[in-house]
Structure 1
Amino acid sequence: MFSKKLTAILLLAPFVFAAPVEDVGKRQSVDTSQHCGQWDTVTAGQYTMYLDQWGKDNASSGQSCANVVSLSGTNLAWQNTWTWQGGSGVKSYTNINLNANLNKQLSAIQNIDAAWSWSQTTSGSIVANVAYDLFTSSSAGGSNQNEIMIWLANFNAGPISSQYNSDGTPKPVASNISIAGHTWNLYSGSNGANNVFSFLLTSGTAQSFSGDLNLFLKYLTSSQTLSTSQYLTTVQGGSEATSGTAVLTSSTYSVTIA
């Protein structure tokens, strides 16, 4: 009798203990506390959250705070709360920086799959954008030479431009470009250190973006002055905040390079 019971227990044991293992590793443990320091960083999987408040000293008051909500695979959920008063120019670019598969020549990149679903609440009028920010260099890990911005939203801000219309608004170097399911105008200029290419939506916002960021690079290498021999050194996404108060909530943020 004893041996029969023991045999039955041993036969059932693998099924009893194997079942809960299925979801282990899908949701990863990360620092979800709020950070507000000017140069605070939080590492989460293949990403680093940067509280890049480089223009903070130009404001009379304010700060940017952010926290990671969760990480599941390559999908990061995060939130950024910011408020800035006074001064001029961008105060912060709290962003999610990709740390994987960078420093490839543009000619060797097959795709940069990106997905970003976000929402934003504001208090009064704000000046800001929600944008991807990419940099390229002439060498792997070298100094930045070109900046490529892809604006998913423009809130009373404006791109860097070398050309302006008679009414003082930036003038695009190319218009009505169809990429990744949206229509864009392209602006070009210099920030004093880098050539800057900025893709802005012709209208509205893209609060649920899903597409290949490499298509924007391919457009610039085929139709503008960006060389395929350049190396992709940086891929980030966040909000350039100038003034006002807002809460940016990103329920989905994912970038992978192949």
Structure 2
Amino acid sequence: MRRRSLLTAALAAPLATAGAVGALQSPAQAAAWSSSDRWATWQNGGYTLYNNIWGSGYGSQSIWANSYSNWGVWADHPNTGGIKSYPNVSRTLGRNVSNMGNVSSSFNVTVPTSGSGLAYNTAYDVWGNGHAHEIMIWTQWYGPVGPIGGRQTTVNLGGRTWNYHQGSNGSNPVYSFLAQNQFTSGSVNITAICQWLVNTGRMPNVRIDQIQLGWEITSSSGGRDFRMNSYSLST
């Protein structure tokens, strides 16, 4: 989706002039699909890929894909505050939390993990009742980024321990789960997280609509590769 709501914890810096999305880099050139369009989308296997350069002060970003489970972006966003993009793979569920069934996901990503001018997170973005409720599941991150709202508790769900934060972006509540032990390969029990929110009274029994996985990129100076090596969503 174009609409994104998570804020970084970094202090806002003066925004760079929004540059044109740059030329495709080498990972994209041999792919089944590629684009440097800001709002590029591609459907494959019941999923939608989004380039989704939605923030202010963005730089260059190109998306490529061989399938919904094998894709990536090359991004060169300036070292300024504020999320520039959320390239992601998305599928719509359309079930209430109380009867959503066993929804889980597995993935393997290759991401940059060193260098200056780099700030991003690898995260699921799960939407309820359209865009009335937002559940963010952070599996890994780097640089000065952080969730909306203060930490409220620690909870073990789906065999993983998460630090839970809750807040609002002014438009909708945001429920954020940050992995205590970050990981770039593994599985997430999405049902367990959604049902915990409902069972503890933190969120109503909403309809779970879009389930997305990608990278919220704040800065990637000099150009960085983000790759989805494998991905599955079991519903």
TM-score under structure 2 normalisation? 0.80
Normalized per residue, which structure has more helix?
Answer: 1
Q: Is 2:114 aligned against 1:127?
A: no
Q: 2:90 aligns with which of 85, 97, 107?
A: 97
Distance 2:66 2:81 in 1: 31
> What is the DSSP-based 3-state SS (H/G/I as helix, E as strand, rest coil) of the residue aligned with 1:89?
coil
- Partners of 1:98 and 1:236 within 8 A in 2: yes
Superposed counterparts of 1:155-170, under 5 Å = 155-156=142-143, 157-161=145-149
Q: CA RMSD in A?
A: 1.7
* TM-superposed deviation, 1:144: 1.5
> What is the DSSP-based 3-state SS (H/G/I as helix, E as strand, rest coil) of the residue aligned with 2:197?
helix
- Partners of 2:57 and 2:78 within 8 A in 1: no
Look up the match of 2:26: none
- Partners of 1:130 and 1:240 within 8 A in 2: yes
Look up the match of 2:65: 68
Look up the match of 1:150: 137
Name the stretch that deviates more: 145-154 or 241-250.
Answer: 241-250
Identity of aligned residues (%): 29
The count of corresponding residues between Structure 1 and Structure 2 is: 201
> What is the DSSP-based 3-state SS (H/G/I as helix, E as strand, rest coil) of the residue aligned with 1:173?
strand
TM-score under structure 1 normalisation? 0.73
Q: Which runs of 5+ in 2 are unaligned?
A: 1-30
* TM-superposed deviation, 1:122: 5.4
* TM-superposed deviation, 1:187: 0.5
Alpha-carbon displacement from aligned partner over 1:120-153 (angstroms, at most 9, x marks no partner): 135623110000000101xxxxx41110000011
> What is the DSSP-based 3-state SS (H/G/I as helix, E as strand, rest coil) of the residue aligned with 1:111?
coil
* TM-superposed deviation, 1:181: 2.6
Q: Which runs of 5+ in 1 are unaligned?
A: 1-30, 138-142, 162-170
* TM-superposed deviation, 1:35: 1.3
- Partners of 1:122 and 1:247 within 8 A in 2: no
> What is the DSSP-based 3-state SS (H/G/I as helix, E as strand, rest coil) of the residue aligned with 2:34?
coil
